[in-house]
Structure formats: structure tokens, C-alpha cells
Chain A
Amino acid sequence: MRKIITPEEAEHRLEFIFPRAAFDTVLSSPLAGTAVAALIYVDAVCKADDAAETARWARPSTVVWISDAALEHQTDGERLSWRVAALQNSKLVEQLQESWGIPFQPKYRDNTRETLRDETFRAWREHHAIRKRPGIAVNSSKPTWALLDDFADLFDPDMTDDQVREAAQQWRDRHMTPGTKLKAMRAIKAQEAKHAVIVKLPDNTTRTLEPGKSSLIIKGVIEEWAPARMGEPVVLAISEPGDKVHIGDKGTLQSTGIKIDPKDVLPDVLMADVNSDPVTFWIIEAVASDGAVTEGRRKALLGWAAQQNIKASQCSFLSAFESRNAAPAKKRLKDLAAGTWAWFADEPGHELSWYQMFPTADDV
């Protein structure tokens, strides 16, 4: 394992690497210094091309839970047991630290991890200081972060300030030139592609979605449910976890008078059956964890549809689940909105319909 560095010293070095006069302070804040110290403590350091399975990864919570007292326990055995505990939950960390005779007093509040993930790690990643494990769904709680080894090299406690300054300059020269960035970006893309979910659209084009259950459900909906259900299905928009939105053919949208702004696509998938008259729009939610079409959700989606110039009378709703046996399906069945459908990826030939036998005035 690498030698441990204190959060203060790590912060001091970060200022050499990302001087505050030139870079955003999130790159070299005290929290960032703690992150370097914590990641090195648990040995979450890997090479850019290490296989994801063998590399060791950490969570933002690892950083939040570390304390100066814990950092003083420096034997490999102690670091290892702290890591194992931190990968489980804070209770175990607390127990471990109690056995060491120190209280569990994290330096930062639990919600600090969002700052870490959305600001510091994100900015570090742009500069190739940190690596994110590829092939993990965005909403997964698995550990996915590791410092890149040549960045971690800059935090060897035995280096003098001058040596760090020199090494920081070399590191910047290597990692911040546009050419190197481009190369790194391509490598990351290639890695992501290995894990991605590829969906074949009705028009025979393909879309690459982030890995994850929700993408697999979307794939099932588009490739299996839609052709069975619709005369001529057209995909108008797919919105993935992680802010990515695929918008269908611009010309089709324009001629149907729909104005979809990629910045505020609400449903997971929006499709249209252009073979029906008038055109039917299908608003589809892929439910991997939560988000089925409930009464409240239906109302929100209808409001959104109206803003896109889609009339309520032309909208149909589908909640798509992995399986009837999947937890979110069991949990949300009681909440499905009336007049909507449900579909389960492991039984593609079936569809569940929930409707009111005698419509009331409210439903019209």
C-alpha cells in the first residue's frame, strides 16, 4: 500500500497541482484534500487501463467517514479492515473504530458526499486525476471511484515541495493537453461501450444506453412490446438516467407539431403509433427502482405532454417492469393509475390493463 498522507498536506499539494488562481477551488478544497487522503488510505488507486474487476474502488462516503484519528491507524491490516468496514456501512466503521478505542466522528456531514461526487470528483475526472468504474448503473450504490496512479504519485509524503512542484508541472503537461485528453476520452468511451445496452429502434437505427436495469427494460419495451402493440411505432424520445436524452428524428417531430426540448424530457420513453388516426402517443416509464405511472405521476406527465403540444386524449400510459416478481412491481401494483397499462420484460407476450369499469365524469 502507498504511504499515508494527511488531509492538510494533500490539500497543500492540490494547490500546487490546481493553483486556486487558475482553477476552480473545488479541485483543491479541504474536502478535496480529505478525499485524496481517504482514497490513498483505503488504497483505491489504479492505473488507467487496469481491469475494472481487479481494481479497488471507493465510495464518496468513504471520504466522508474518514477522520484524523482513523488515519493514525496505519498498518496494512488496520487499513484493510477499515476499508472492508467502509465498503459495508457506517455501523461497521463505528464498531471497528470502537475496537481501536477511538470514537466514530466523521469530519463531514453525510450529505457532503454529493458535493464530492458532483463537484470535486467530476472536475478531477475531467482532468484525468480520478477514474470512475465503467459499466455500473448511475444510481447504483456500488463503489466506483479510484485515484489514477500517476496522480496519486504526487502525494508521496516523502517528496519535498520543490519536487512536488516539478512533478505537478509534468503531470499537467501529460494530462491537460487537448491531444491527451482526446485519447483518454476515446479510451473511456470504448470501455463504456463494452458494458452499454444497445437498443434497436423500429427504424433500424440503434441507440447506445448506459448500463443498468432501467436500460434493459427500455430495450425490452422498444424491441418487443412496441412492435406487438403498435401498428407503426416511432420512438420520439428516450431519456436515460444520467441526464442523457435521445431525441427522435427532428423532421418527424416538427411535422407532428411536437416541440420536445431535450432539457426537460419527463418520461423515460415517448413513442407514437403513426398508423393510428389520430396518432396515439405512448408515455412509458421504465421502473427499475421506482417511478411507475401513479395518479400523481399521470397528472404530471399529462401536463408535460400538453406543453409539448400533445393532447391528453391522444396519450396512453405504460409502466414497464423487469418482472411481476420484481420488488418495485409488487410495491407499485396498488398505485397504478386507472386507464394505464403495465408490461413485464420477462413475460413480453402479456400486458396488464387497469381500468375503471364505469367511467365517471372526472375521467373524461
Chain B
Amino acid sequence: MPDLLVVAALSEALENASAARPLGSRGSRGAVADSDPAELTPTATAVLAAIPAWWRAQATAAGLTGSWLEIETALQAVPPVDVPSDPPLGDSWGALTPEQVGAAYVEALSSATRARHGRHYTPPELASHLWGLARTSLGLPPGKQVLPGLVRDPACGAGALLLPVLREHLHASYDVDPALTLAGLPNLVQGVDTDPAAVWVANVVLAAEMLPTLARVPQKVRRPLPVLAQVGDGLADSGHKARVVVMNPPYGRVRLSSAERDRYAHVLYGHANMYSLFMASAVASLDSEGVLAALVPTSFTSGRYFSKLRTYLGREAGMSAVTFVEDRSGVFTSVLQETCLATFERRRRKKTRISSLGSTQTSIASVKTQRTGEPWVLPRRSDDAPVAAAASAMTESFASFGWHASTGPLVWNRRSADLYPTWGPSRSHVIWAADLDGGVLHRDPARDSMRYMALTAASDPKVMVLDRPAILVQRTTAPEQSRRLVAALLDNDALKARHGRVTVENHVNVLRPTAADPVLTNEAMTRLLATKALDRVVRCISGSVALSAYELESIPLPDPDVVRKWNDLEGGALEAAVAAAYRPEGM
């Protein structure tokens, strides 16, 4: 490929690397080493082809000469494609940082490849923050320290998370014989990934970090630089326990073979998400003082599909710190999903430190480490911290008192042909989320063109119809709405006014008591859902604007005698009583 083309391709890849990158993905867990050259886009190939030139610039800057300037002799790793022996690039590419080289490669993959395998590059700020969290958990003092044991990244990609780790270790090992330092690295830093090209890039950028150390080794005893990343399955048991696992694992649902389902049965409930498999096997691979530091979606802290994972983590390695990444600051534009940096420790800790990371890091609270499969109550803001502390100590919940929540069955765009503006005997009144705004059930005129649904399918009268009193709760609210919890009562009168039956759309949760003698009447429950204190509790459970039926059922409640008293309270008195119930002891 002529120079100019490569330069153009590279700069395009680099530009993209700084633009938005979606982190989420969906796909099935493929075989190991499934990245055949056909998957590499021309740009990705161009990035790979440019690497020998980059290496030459790095090695020259480190003061090395001769064969050490050739990547293929300096590092005993075979490139996944033929790289030109005469590097086509000028000196200007020497100015790229190892992080930029890695980002350029990942960015140059086609978006389909990235999505299918959940490949995404970790921004350097997050990488170093994650290592910082791991260091704190390890109890390493400030300043450069040599690594206390093996640090592994089971989904290392182009090596972003291992760079700060290796960098610190090499700095701290300055006084050690450089040849010994280099020889010892494979026992301390290890990356695994399924993509051979990414593994090669990771090996090159990690080796580039070692160049100054290599330059200090007397010429006669210089050996090729160690290969730290391997092609392999990050979920497989490597046999060696790790002191630290750092990772930004792939996300997304996967279909598992029955053997794998069995292997992960202890952490799976319903759909398997790739990242939960990585979390479980990472914890299993830690030694007795080990620490897992992971950049993962926040969904594992509250989602139903992660309840077994939470129990497992609570038992094996409690969460000692979590940093919520705030997207609104615009610092990490690449992070689309709700994301957090979390550390889990084999050693038993009592408290979880909670903080948020935007343009600066802010500490939020430190609460008791949660260890059950119930959604973990974690305050996202410090003004919610006392409520969260109180709620997390409660053992009762909506579900334990016999309340059952389900999601409205109507997905309107699947039934758009059956939606009408006028009533008819075979039609049912549709309740839209907007009808709950303000906490009182009403009829939002904007939805009137689709107000009634014809019950055409045979199963409709059974599945789509609600003809008993219930409490309706919005399943998702807009960020600008002041409350995350918006509920309205559907009582007998309201049902009668709607011809005795309604059909609830899927942005609304339906909450109904199943116990014969519920602790709260429907009316009192609706009033409870409208209190400020409960809204705060909900904010600590889901963290996002969505509130699933499962999360709704899991809202912690105080003892039944306390709750029963709320039946007779209203307005300010109820507000004060609920606030007093969600108050930490001794306060």
C-alpha cells in the first residue's frame, strides 16, 4: 500500500478513535481465535502495517540500534498479517502513544466485528483509574511499587488496561537488574484475548514500554522481549491463580452450549450476559488475597438476571469499591451504557466505598458491603446516602409482603393495526405511561388516537386485559422529571369508568397484592409510592431512569408493624413517618 494511503487510513482511524464508541454489543460466544484475516478491514491492516515503523521510532528514541529496531527480532511474536519489512511511514508516527496505537487498531475494525465480539478500547483515563482502584484494594502505598503478584486481563484486547500496570512495575524495578526484571515479567503481567491481531498489538505496545529497560541491559546479554499476551479463551482456567484481575470484558447476551451452561449454573439466571461469565470466572481465578477490578455495566448491581451472580460475589469476593462513570460530564463520550468501575476482594471487607467519576472524582458515601442476591442499594449521590444505608439493612421488601409486579403486556407497535380512537364492545381501554403523569390516573389527549385496542387474538382476553384494581407505576421516566417513581391508582371506580377492563402498555408496571391480607391497602401503597423517601430508595437501586418490575418488587421495606401504621397516614404525616423509617440507626 502506498505511503499516502496508509497515512490517510491511519489518521482516519485515529480520528475515529477519539470519537464516540459504543460499548454495548450482542452476539453469541464464538470459538476461540475466530479472527481470520478476512475480518480485518483495509484500515485495520494499514494500522498493523504501520506498527513496525512505530516500533522503529520507539526503539530509536530509547537509544537502541541494529536488529532491535526490527519488531520481528525484538519481540518473538508473529504478526497476524504480513507486515512490510520496509516500513512505509515517516518519523511523525513515532509520536503516537501506545494507547493511541491500540485505540487506532480497535477503531479500525469494522463496526460489525466490534459489535459481534464486544470489542472496544478502554479510554486511558478509565484504565489508569481502574488500576488505581485495584492498588487501593491491594493496600499498595502511594508512589511506584513493584507488583505483588500476577496481574491478568482475560479480555486484554490491545492491552490498554495492562499498560499502567506494566509502567508502574518497570518504574519501581529501576534498581533491579534490568535483565532479571524483563525475564520476570511473564510471571507478573498476563493478557489473554481471542483476537490474534489485537494480541499482537498488545504485545507490541507492552514491549514498547520495556524498551528503556532493555536499553539498560548490556548488549551481550540482551534477549528478545517477553511476550505477555496470548491468544486464548479468557474464560478458560489457566491453572495459575492471579493476585489481580483487571478487565473491561465484552458485554452482551450470549447463547451458551449446554456444557457451558452447566459450568456457570451457579451464577446464571435466565439470559447469560458475557460480562457476568467473565466476572464469575475472574473471581474463581483469584488467589486468597486476590482483587478483581472491572469496568462493567451497572446492571449487575440490580438486574434480575444477575441475582445469582450477586449472591456468588457476595459470598466469594465482596464489592469493596465502586465508581460510577458519569456520562453527563461529557468526559467519557464513548460510554453509552451506565458503566461503573468496581473492585471485588477475596479478603472480607465491611464497607463499600462509593464515588463518581466525571470531570473530577467525588466521593459519595461508604456503605455496608451488600452480599445478597437482592438488588444492591447503592447511593448515586451523597444526599441519598443515609436513606440507602437504612434501606440496605432492611430484610423485608414489596415481594416479601406479597406484592407482585409485572410489566404491561401491550407493545403498541406490534399491535398498531388493532389500536383505535373510539370504543367498541370488543375493544379495551389502553393505559399509556403518560396517563400516570402527576400521580393521578387520567386520559392524556395526545394518546387519544390510540386509546382503544381491539381484542383480536384468541389469547387477548386472558393476556392483554386487566380487570381488577391495581397500582400502575411508570417503568421509565425522563431524566428531567423530578421523580423516578411515578404511580397512580387503578381502583374499581376507575375500572368502571373504563368499561370494566383496561390494557396496560409495556412502559407501565402493574403492582398487585397477592396476599389475602396485604399490609397496605392499594390506596395507602399508592400514597407510599408518592413519598420523597421512597423515591430516594428507588434512585439507589436502579441508578438509571428505568425501573423494572423486578426492581419494583425488591424495594426494601421496614418491619410489618411499622408499615401497617402507614395505612392511616397521609400528606406530611406520612412523609415524615416514611422518612423516619428510612433513617440509619443512631441518627
Residues of A participating in the B interface, judged by any CB pair closer than 8 Å? 15-16, 19-24, 123, 126-127, 165, 169, 172-173, 175-178, 181, 185, 250-252, 254-257, 259, 261, 263-264, 303, 306-307, 309, 311
Asked if B366 is an interface residue, CB under 8 A from chain A, the answer is yes
Contacts A169-B579, A257-B58, A257-B61; is A176 near B389 (CB within 8 Å)? no
Is the pair B586, A252 in contact by a Cβ cutoff of 8 Å? no
Residues of A within 8 A of B367 (CB): 21-22
Asked if B496 is an interface residue, CB under 8 A from chain A, the answer is no
Is the pair A181, B362 in contact by a Cβ cutoff of 8 Å? yes
Query: How many A-B contacts are there with CB distance less than 8 Å?
Result: 106
Task: Give the bracket for the number of chain B residues in contact with chain A.
Answer: 35 or more
Residues of B participating in the A interface, judged by any CB pair closer than 8 Å? 57-58, 60-63, 91, 94-97, 143-144, 167-168, 171, 174, 209, 211-212, 215, 326, 356, 360, 362-363, 365-368, 379, 381-383, 385-386, 388-390, 393, 579, 583-587
Is the pair B586, A19 in contact by a Cβ cutoff of 8 Å? yes
Contacts A22-B389, A23-B365, A123-B363; is A255 near B586 (CB within 8 Å)? no
Residues of A within 8 A of B381 (CB): 176-178
| Distance between B92 CB and nearest chain A CB, rounded to angstroms | 8
Distance A295 CA – B62 CA, assembled complex (angstroms): 27
Is the pair A251, B584 in contact by a Cβ cutoff of 8 Å? no
Is the pair B362, A165 in contact by a Cβ cutoff of 8 Å? no
DSSP majority for the A interface? helix
Residues of B within 8 A of A24 (CB): 363, 366
Is the pair B62, A257 in contact by a Cβ cutoff of 8 Å? yes
Residues of B within 8 A of A307 (CB): 171, 174, 212
Is the pair A20, B94 in contact by a Cβ cutoff of 8 Å? no
| Distance between A14 CB and nearest chain B CB, rounded to angstroms | 11
Whose C-beta in chain A lies nearest to the C-beta of B533?
Answer: A169
Task: Identify which of A15, A251, A252, A311 contacts B587 (C-beta below 8 A).
Answer: A15
Residues of B within 8 A of A123 (CB): 363
Residues of B within 8 A of A178 (CB): 326, 356, 381
Residues of B within 8 A of A127 (CB): 382
Residues of A within 8 A of B326 (CB): 178
Contacts A21-B390, A126-B362; is A306 near B174 (CB within 8 Å)? yes
Task: Identify which of B144, B215, B586 contacts A15 (C-beta below 8 A).
Answer: B586
Is the pair B389, A259 in contact by a Cβ cutoff of 8 Å? no
Residues of A within 8 A of B390 (CB): 21
Residues of A within 8 A of B167 (CB): 259, 261
Residues of A within 8 A of B585 (CB): 21
Residues of A within 8 A of B388 (CB): 22
Is the pair A19, B386 in contact by a Cβ cutoff of 8 Å? yes
Is the pair A264, B94 in contact by a Cβ cutoff of 8 Å? no
Residues of A within 8 A of B383 (CB): 172-173, 175-177
| Distance between B281 CB and nearest chain A CB, rounded to angstroms | 32
| Distance between B511 CB and nearest chain A CB, rounded to angstroms | 28
Contacts A172-B382, A261-B167; is A19 near B96 (CB within 8 Å)? no
Contacts A16-B587, A165-B587, A256-B61; is A21 near B368 (CB within 8 Å)? yes
Task: Identify which of A21, A175, A250 contacts B584 (C-beta below 8 A).
Answer: A21
| Distance between A91 CB and nearest chain B CB, rounded to angstroms | 36
Distance A165 CA – B388 CA, assembled complex (angstroms): 17
| Distance between A166 CB and nearest chain B CB, rounded to angstroms | 9
The 4 closest A-B CB pairs, nearest first, are A257-B61, A176-B383, A251-B95, A22-B389
Residues of B within 8 A of A15 (CB): 586-587
Distance A178 CA – B365 CA, assembled complex (angstroms): 14
Residues of A within 8 A of B171 (CB): 261, 264, 307
Residues of A within 8 A of B97 (CB): 250, 254
Whose C-beta in chain B lies nearest to the C-beta of A165?
Answer: B587
Question: What are 11 A-B pairs with beta-carbon distances under 8 A?
Answer: A16-B587, A19-B587, A23-B366, A165-B587, A177-B383, A185-B360, A254-B95, A255-B95, A259-B167, A259-B212, A307-B171
Task: Identify which of A21, A173, A181 contacts B389 (C-beta below 8 A).
Answer: A21
| Distance between B354 CB and nearest chain A CB, rounded to angstroms | 9
